[in-house]
Amino acid sequence: MALIGLVRVSTDKQNTQRQHDALDPICLKVFEEKISGKLATDDRPDLLTALSYIREGDLLTVQEVDRLGRNLLEGLIVLNDLFQRGIGVKVLEGIAAGEHTERSLILDLALALAEDRRRDIARKTKNGLEAARARGRVGGRRPVVDDDKRAAILSRRERGESIRTIAAGVKVSVGVVHKTLAEAQAPDEPDEPDAPRGEAGEVAALDGAPVGADEGQDDAAEQRQEEERRWRRGLKPIAADVAGAEGYRGAVWPDGWGRYHVVAPDGERIGYAEQGGGVRARAWVAHAHQGRQLQGGMPTRARAVAELVRRHRDRTPATDAAAADGLPGWRLVQTLHERDRNRYRLIDPGGRAAGTVERHEVAGRQLWRATGGDPANAAALHWPVTPISGDLDAIADEDAWRTREAAVRALAENHAPELEAP
Which contiguous run of DSSP H or E holds residue 384? strand 383-385
- Tell me the average confidence (pLDDT) per consecutive run of 10 residues in the chain, 422 residues long: 86 81 89 79 79 88 83 75 86 86 80 71 69 62 72 83 83 80 60 41 41 50 77 87 84 84 89 69 79 81 90 82 80 87 89 91 88 82 86 84 91 81 47
pLDDT of the residue at 319: 67
**CA 43, 90, 268, 262 torsion: positive or negative?**
positive
pLDDT of the residue at 280: 44
Secondary structure (DSSP) of 313-333:
HHHSBPS--EEPTT-TT-EEE
pTM: 0.43
Q: How far is CA 394 from the centre of its chain?
A: 50
- Give the residue numbers marked as catalytic: 10
Secondary structure (DSSP) of 24-76:
TTT-SEEEEEES-TTS-GGG-HHHHHHHHH--TT-EEEESSGGGT-S-HHHHH
User: Phi/psi at 398 (nearest 5 deg)?
Assistant: -115, 0
- Give the separation between CA 79 and CA 107, rounded to whole angstroms: 10
pLDDT of the residue at 420: 56
pLDDT of the residue at 249: 92
